[in-house]
Amino acid sequence: MIRRARAADIPRVLALWRAAGAIPSVTDHAAGLERLLEHDPDALLVAEEQGEVIGTVIAAWDGWRGALYRLAVDPGQRRQGVAGRLVKEGMAHLSRRGAARVHVIAAADEPPAVELWKAAGFEPRPDHLRLVNTLTSPDRGQGSGAGEDRGC
């Protein structure tokens, strides 16, 4: 079952991201997820099986375009269609919100992730470069930190 996340899910979501080997991000903490749920209670979707969170995706809408972030599946649940169902539900959510275009960020050095997104209909844009400026970090306080955050 795929459903919107609740505040009570936050510890399980963070644990899943660690178990799934998600590249750590400066927003991977309870306060960051609480802010996300306050801003858009429908953005964080979880796949649940027998009461356990086995997958996540963030389907973010900024009023201009949609984005999918933090697609993660429990390693023991992979290759069973969980990621595909999360992407499909995330895309449907964004479409309902009015998104005409959706983008994703995939680590270039993770071919399985890139192939998953391609299979879902996303096309690489070799003419684009992702630039990042990390505004804050829980352990550094204010600061640029550009280039230090590979997380999606």
2-24 residues labelled b (16+ CB within 10 A) or e (exposed): bebbeeebbebbbebbeebebee
pLDDT band of residue 113 (cuts 50, 70, 90) is confident
pLDDT (tens digit, 9 = 90+) per residue, 24-34?
A: 788 889 999 99
Given a cut of 60, whether residue 138 has pLDDT beyond it is no
Q: Model-level pTM?
A: 0.83
Domain annotation for the chain: domains and CATH numbers: 2-127 (3.40.630.30)
pLDDT band of residue 150 (cuts 50, 70, 90) is very low
CB count within 10 Å of CB 37 equals 18
Angle at 132 between CA 31 and CA 30, to 5 degrees: 10
The predicted structure's pLDDT at residue 41: 94
Given a cut of 60, whether residue 91 has pLDDT beyond it is yes
Q: How far apart are CA 6 and CA 152, in angstroms?
A: 21
| DSSP H or E stretch at residue 46 | strand 44-49
